[in-house]
Structure 1
Amino acid sequence: MTEHTLTTTTTETGEDFTTSEGLRTLLHRLHAAGPAAWEHDPTAAELMAFTAEKYAPLARKHGLDPWEAASAAFDVMRTKAAREATDSWAVITHAVRITCIFEERAQGLLCSVHQARRPHVSAFHDPERFSDRENPLTDYHPAFQIADNPPTTHDEDVDSLASARACTSASSAVEDAIALFMLLGWPPATARAGVEHVCGALTRIGTRQATYEALRRDKHARALLDIPGRSWTALLKALLGNPHPAYAATTAGRGVLLRLLIGETLPVLLRDDDLILAVSLAAPGCRDRHGGDGS
């Protein structure tokens, strides 16, 4: 980070706080004079004006006001670490840079700076507008769907029979999907764990698009299943379909699970050259067999 090159400033008391040695001397004097010295000492006021100018570019880089950076510097200047450091300005600059980063992160996450400093909070992405997604939230989120009219007794009987058949059909589709991945070089344990995890998430979430969006960012699940990133992405696209609107009416957009449920068989899927190529090349360890790193 490159700050403005500021001219040497010597105060009426002969203190040059633009150098680390001069700053260290001034900080020791202000500390010895007590907390009120920062409020009444004219040199302290000059120091803070100098600090605001010095860190203005850094503040603007992170969308902050220069005096927010100066405030962060003030907090550091009162610490023993800044007073005793060999290069006091270096300590202060590092602390201000870190503070600016987390100030900007906190604004993006709509939380406090204290929370933004915590890894389990800063790991989240910034809030998004509905319009930021390729597929509008209203197209797939259950909260925006309209429920059908309450079924009659006859409808309930028909629905129960259809539900039983659907369960059988869904179970067969899952087993056929696992068999497809195993035939194309995926380890049996990995194929079963991956397909069953995706199906479980699909049952819980309700739609293929929403399930794809949720799972593609689920690094914890991928790590738990021990599936490389490229293989995980290929697994999701193969099972759930490519979420891009351009593929909506194609076999690539429907995905293996839907194709099996609407009547396509495993032999039919094995004649889909694009699907076979994508799944087989993404098999875990495939690149190791061809000289790659397999990550």
Structure 2
Amino acid sequence: METATARDRRERFEDSEALRALLTRLHEAGRGAWRHDPEAAALMEHASSKYAALARKHGLDPWEAASAAFEAMRGAATRRAEDPWGVITRAVQVTCTAEERGNGLLCSVHQARRPRYSVFHDAERFSDRENPLPDYHPAFRFDPFTDDEPDDGDAVPERTVNVATAIEDTIAFLTRVGWEPETARAAVEYVTARLTEASSRASAFEVLRRDRQARALLDLPGASWTALLRVVLGVPDPALAHTNAGRGMLRRLLIGQPLRALLTDDDLVITAGLAAPRFDAGSGGS
């Protein structure tokens, strides 16, 4: 049961002017004030209680939310704000969301705050699935009776498909023909993530082709983005379905073509190389 003293203290902390006065006093007291001031300790306990539900919503400990509140309370903008608690609450919300995304993406909170990383779905190991991705997703499925047969040069002793290896080979190919490694990885991982959510490569191509947000997040010119989709997913033209251009890099790698074979495909190398974004120093990708 809450005591009268605790209730009075909570009501005083919730008052914007009282909070502003306390934050100003702690700021002016200088180094060590937050560590030794009993009222500061009480304020942090109040923040922990205040944001406990928000922290649990994001799978965090209440004191992690209190830590975010502490960082916000030390800022000059909070002391000058018309509603200090409004500023603090927003900062805690942003931090908790970034913490949750960072845990899911297996990256730092700093990276999780950036749109180019937060756009991706949470990390998922292929081994977490009972069956390999090609076994249940039609975008990667190969049926010798209903799908396109590989050319003579595509035949391999075993048709075992390693999706992770195909993705890494695709990134390696783009890097070798002039793409920045970071850009190539971000783009390919984005494309393959959307591919797993689509019913087919053709539908994934159309959705991605119109995805302006992806272009902005990846900082790619329109021509580079479209060419990348054609190279990775293949040209969505039924007349080219049985050609290398129609299959795309991922398809060719998944049916057993080695990376070295793709690197000897002059048309593919030239197309991918010309599509590599080349920005002047200090310029953006628009």
Question: Which interval holds the TM-score relative to the shorter structure?
Answer: 0.3 to 0.5
Larger RCO (CA within 8 A; separation ≥ 6)? 2
Q: TM-score, normalised by structure 2?
A: 0.48
Give the number of the structure whose alpha-carbon radius of gyration is greater. 1
TM-score with structure 1 setting the length:
0.47
